[in-house]
Structure 1
Amino acid sequence: MNPYDFAGRTVLVTGASMGLGAEFARQLSRLGATLILVARSEAKLQALATELGRSHVITADLTAPGAAQRLFDEVKARGLDVDVLINNAGYGLHGGFDVLSLEEQRGEINLNVRALVELTYLFLPTLERRQGGVIQVASMAAFQPTPYMAVYGATKAFVLSFSHALWAEYRARGVRVLALSPGATDTPFFERSGEGASPGKKASPEDVVRVGLDAFAAGRASVVHGTGNQVAAFSTRFFSRTFAAKLIARITRPRPSALL
């Protein structure tokens, strides 16, 4: 595939009000793209749209049943054609499987998997017609079982597998599909999941997004951000999943104070 030029393209970004989503919007705006910003917080989206220009704002709670179809219909009602879809919206919760509520964990599945699949399905015909593509934000949690974030890790493993499969299906049809797998990143993600989800140094959102956009432009199927994360992802193929699960459990096990 030839390198992809975002100038003059229309890019829809979910979870655009903060974190990686907002950074995707900023970098794409500098590259000349028109943006469709989607999230639950209208005030934050409007502020970002005012900052960037060339932006359309659509508020949506993508965890709700039928939300993906309503978003797709709204985009069409506004006469917009999407060249690139960035499925960035997602969240994770840190804690024991039996401690976190079923409702909270169902919400993870609804946003991280159901909404992502439905949006990809709905927009793919347009993406193919316009020879664009989709960036799916996965995670380092996709590469091994993730105790104490069991559902989150499983949803991201789904995203990684799903994205690789679509890349193979659609590459000959001129559609790019990229799975972007960041490690711990300095975003509000941890305000919800808790700092215990990933202790230690965090990457900058600016660098994660730059790596993702460069990989998409090059037509890659997958990219892991950061040399250390790349080594860790590669090394998982040399160990059993039970070994990896026990190792990750030592890192992610909630501290006693977090259990109170």
Structure 2
Amino acid sequence: MQLDLAGKTALITGASQGIGRELARVLAAEGCNLHLAARNGAALEEAKAELAEFPVTVTIHPADLSSSEAMEDLDRAAGDYDILMNNAGDIPAGDIEVVTDEAIKRGFDLKVFGYISLARSFWKRRKGRDGVIVNVIGNSGENWDAAYFAGSTGNAALMSFTKALGGRSMNHGIRVVGVNPGPVDTPRMFKIMRRKAIDMLGDESRWAELYDHYPAKRPATAREVADLCAFLASPRAGYISGTIVTIDGGISARGSVI
């Protein structure tokens, strides 16, 4: 499907690996110019080099994004862009006896408050014109998990934020949508799965066994999630706002993490 994204410009956070990096490739193939942001500058350079095959402009922004000031600085540096892909996040896994308040605050500063801060800056810039905010959240916000309670809490907050903002945003020319991936074949997911293997099996090296309980015995691919995000950001999804699209093989529908 032609997504009519050629000539648009997108800012992607968390773009050095996983969903963000694959999303950059999908959007570049559609002719979308890119601003890529993440902490790992070397990985961003690699991503930029990989995208050289596409006739688009790619600008990288290596930075620690775990503060409102950093997000505001990033928005100013990116300039006038059309699409915001909020994707950066590293909320810790573990139960309430393991995860500290300090770890939760660090995770929320990057993902929860980071998403809100960057969305606010984008909103002020694009209000009254066309614009799209895609929040990559996570299905733990709708399928609560005691072994990932911090993620469930933060993601539920971002789901509410997306619906609250997106419910009225089209009055101002902006669409706001959320994507809730379940398990995805990324380095981030491997970290979470190792923690789950400790809690459930007593051995982090047995994390791959947990996939036997997932739909089709596999996680989603980063490309599957990126394709969905690209569609939602495109004019083809021009009447979708204030909603969350879940991509987890049916895990949330059956009401069970595993």
Q: TM-score, length-normalised on structure 1?
A: 0.81
Name the count of aligned residue pairs. 230
CA deviations 1:5-31 (Å, max 9, x no partner) are 211011000000000000110000000
Q: Is the 8 A contact 1:92 1:192 kept in 2?
A: no
Distance 1:190 1:94 in 2: 10
Q: Is the 8 A contact 2:142 2:252 kept in 1?
A: no
Distance 1:110 1:146 in 2: 21
CA shift at 1:92, angstroms? 3.0
> 1:245-260 alignment to 2 at 5 Å?
none
Find the residue that maps to 2:97 and give its secondary structure: coil
Distance 1:194 1:93, change over 3 A: farther
Name the aligned partner's letter for residue 244 of structure 2.
S
Distance 2:82 2:7 in 1: 10
CA shift at 1:193, angstroms? 2.8
Name the aligned partner's letter for residue 216 of structure 1.
A
Residue 204 of structure 1 is aligned with which of 197, 218, 221? 221
Residue 62 of structure 1 is aligned with which of 60, 65, 68? 65
CA shift at 1:212, angstroms? 2.3
CA shift at 1:208, angstroms? 1.2
Distance 1:111 1:88, change over 3 A: same
Distance 1:210 1:185 in 2: 13
Which residue of structure 2 aligns with residue 24 of structure 1? 23
Q: Is the 8 A contact 1:17 1:41 kept in 2?
A: yes
CA shift at 1:95, angstroms? 1.6
Name the aligned partner's letter for residue 66 of structure 2.
T
* Structure 2: gaps spanning 5 or more residues: 197-206, 212-217
Which residue of structure 2 aligns with residue 243 of structure 1? none
Which residue of structure 1 aligns with residue 38 of structure 2? 39
CA deviations 1:92-150 (Å, max 9, x no partner) are 32222222233222111111111110000011133334402110011110113320211
Find the residue that maps to 1:12 and give its secondary structure: strand
CA shift at 1:227, angstroms? 4.4
Which residue of structure 1 aligns with residue 244 of structure 2? 222
Distance 1:191 1:226, change over 3 A: closer
Name the aligned partner's letter for residue 90 of structure 1.
G
More divergent stretch after superposition (139-148 vs 39-48): 139-148
CA shift at 1:174, angstroms? 2.3
Distance 2:91 2:80 in 1: 31
CA shift at 1:229, angstroms? 3.7
Q: Is the 8 A contact 2:143 2:252 kept in 1?
A: no
Distance 2:184 2:249 in 1: 14
Distance 1:145 1:203 in 2: 19
Find the residue that maps to 2:250 and give its secondary structure: helix
Which residue of structure 2 aligns with residue 97 of structure 1? 96
Distance 1:172 1:4, change over 3 A: farther
Distance 1:30 1:114, change over 3 A: same
* Structure 1: gaps spanning 5 or more residues: 237-246, 252-260
Which residue of structure 1 aligns with residue 167 of structure 2? 168
Which residue of structure 1 aligns with residue 75 of structure 2? 72
Distance 1:71 1:136 in 2: 17
Identity value in percent: 29
Distance 1:210 1:95 in 2: 30
